[in-house]
Chain A
Amino acid sequence: MAVIKYTDTVIEHFKNPRNVGEIENADGSATVGSPACGDQVSVFLKIEDGTIDDIKFLSYGCASNIATGSIVTEMAKGKKVDYAKSLSWKDAVEQLGGLPPVKVHCSILAIDGLRAAIKDYEEKKLGIKHEKTIDESFLIEELKKVIYPKTGKNIIEEKLVKYLKFEEGKVEIEISFEETDQFRQNVMEEIREHLEEIKDVKEIDVRAVEY
């Protein structure tokens, strides 16, 4: 069983989260995650002259989900949009004094929420089109968002992805897993969930292989 022990900073942000709420007529907003999984974050932005004047979030999630939402909004508030875009989940984890490995994925969700809200702002207010060509290197970047809960590192860093192919809308992935690995099912579902959100991906074939 995974032991979940939070730092005092996490508990403090869970107890008194900063920037909770909604912004009416937000310049950019996004909701990521899904309540079915027990995790969801919404981020709202007010932007003036390229600076994040105000930022708020709502969370339907666990304690670390709320704490990461709080810290990420703190880190972005009053900062330039470009700076906010450069924030990574590792920065958020560091600011919180660490997260248990099984909870690292929460910080990714919070950063994802922030980036998606900025993207929404750029599309709505600046008319910037975000159309990326989907190729294998793009997919690898997406797969970096999937965390192996046992270690708290992403599956690319963990070298769990042994094979990746993208052709005519079909993604084929082989993941190295021992049959007894308790996170096997979770990780495979999460990979599928991340890839399903990509527009050009029509078919996903994720296989667990023992190496």
Chain B
Amino acid sequence: MTNIKMAKTKMDRIYLDHAATTPILPEVIDKMSEIMKNSYGNASSLHYLGIEAREILEESRKKIAFLINADPEEIYFTSGGTEGDNIAILGSLPNRCGDFALTSVIEHEAVIETFKHLEKIGIMVKFAPVNDEGFVDLDYLKNNLHKGFFLVSIMAANNEIGTIQPIREINRISENAGAFVHTDAVQAVGKIPINVKELGVNFLSASAHKFYGPKGVGFLYVKKDTPVSSIIFGGGHERGLRSGTENVPGAAGMALALELCINSMDKDHIKYNEWSERIISEAGKTEEFKLNGSRKNRIPGTLSLSFKNINGESLMQILSIQGIAVSTASACQSHAAKRGYSHVIQSLGVEESYANGTIRISLGKDNTDEQIDFFIEALKKSLKRLREFGNGL
């Protein structure tokens, strides 16, 4: 039988799940530690420690604004992507110009579930379909948007398959219909260049832990003059939009992480693209699989692969015991779970015999050539092993 070697030490860890979260960069940890040790004041306090904290917070805001071509007063700190999405969507409700809203079928749960909530409170909600590469159907948008749509929310890049949406185009179509536009850019910020002035959207949400910053902090960009109401009430922090004591070390860590990601972006892309090609071509020598999403317009390093007649959850587990962390879009929870695989893979129309065998590999800064070689070998062995167990009968 094919021999599977179990990982024993931390040295054996190969992390290929950067779309789930990323390890914090050492520089970011240092910066945050220093702030936590020395600048522990409440940014709303009026004494010298408060002023010091406030200065750090505002510097961070300026830096983030500069990095995405926004104005500092357009940046609001949040607790992360989910909160940013919720503020943009629910915060648009009180000022709405109609009772219609649109999103896509492949959004993250933070958007899908919020839209389902809109439906429950009487908003007419439309879910735009996608094609087999995961691109939102622009004709559907053109044909369905009309006066009365107060919000269109389409993600900048998909978390499972990495497809990058034409947000500029989507914004133009939606704007023509009189709708405000939100984009969940959690999988895009720090990974591809983002210029909010070029995109033209009203709202853009991001999360620090997806780009080597800390968990529990993110930001929401709100274009100047876009009406938005608070959904969290309290001390009136963040100009009344998001009450709650400011997470100063988090904001500073996020700003530095974003800066570092953008500085090394080109170099990282070259590495990720080369590794992706290597994984695809090596696996292609022995395996039957499909690459989900767009081949061209994708987040570099995010690969969704569907192996024929393989159980994706088993593949994820067998890689995991070898120290390799990937994620699966097909966790079976009951044996009649015909929807055992994710809503994204389903929306692409992937055949069942492939869809059940879907894993997502997402590469990152901490990966090395040796790790990718090791992974490719482990992948081949693991697939062979699963077939010995009976996968692919």
Interface, chain A (partner B; CB < 8 A): 2, 4, 6, 11, 14-15, 17, 20, 33, 35-42, 57-63, 65-66, 102, 105-106, 108-109, 147, 149, 183, 185-187, 189-190, 192-193
Contact = CB atoms under 8 A, between A and B. Distances in A.
Nearest to A100: B333
A38 B336 CA distance: 9
A33 B334 contact: no
B337 A38 contact: yes
Interface stretch (B176-184, B234-242, B253-261, B313-321): B313-321
27 contacts: A2-B331, A2-B333, A11-B321, A14-B317, A14-B321, A20-B388, A35-B309, A35-B393, A37-B336, A38-B313, A38-B340, A39-B311, A40-B390, A60-B390, A60-B393, A62-B313, A62-B331, A63-B314, A65-B314, A66-B314, A102-B333, A105-B334, A147-B334, A183-B333, A185-B339, A190-B336, A193-B336
A36 B352 contact: yes
Given A42-B393, A58-B389, A36 B338 contact: yes
Interface string B243-255: 0000000000000
Contacts of B388: 20
Interface of B: 1, 4, 6, 309, 311-314, 317-318, 321, 330-341, 352-353, 356, 388-393
A37 B353 CA distance: 10
Given A15-B4, A36-B352, A62 B336 contact: no
A37 B341 CA distance: 9
B332 A62 contact: yes
A70 to B, nearest CB: 9
Contacts of A105: 334-335
B317 A59 contact: no
A7 to B, nearest CB: 13
B340 A60 contact: no
Given A40-B393, A59-B390, A190 B309 contact: no
Nearest to B388: A20
A36 B357 CA distance: 11
Contacts of A65: 311, 314
Contacts, number: 107
Nearest to B391: A60
Contact of B336 (A35, A42, A60, A189): A189
Contacts of A109: 335
Nearest to B334: A186
Contacts of B317: 6, 14, 62-63
Contacts of B333: 2, 102, 149, 183, 186
A37 B336 CA distance: 6
Nearest to A58: B390
B115 to A, nearest CB: 15
A99 B333 CA distance: 12
Contacts of B393: 35, 40, 42, 58, 60
A189 B340 CA distance: 12
B332 A37 contact: yes
- Considering residues B1, B390, B393, which has the most beta carbons from chain A within 10 angstroms of its beta carbon? B390
A189 B352 CA distance: 17
Contacts of A62: 311, 313-314, 317, 331-332
Contacts of B352: 36
Contacts of A192: 336
B335 A39 contact: yes
A36 B341 CA distance: 11
B109 to A, nearest CB: 9
B332 A39 contact: yes
Contacts of A190: 334-337
- Considering residues B4, B335, B341, B388, which has the most beta carbons from chain A within 10 angstroms of its beta carbon? B335
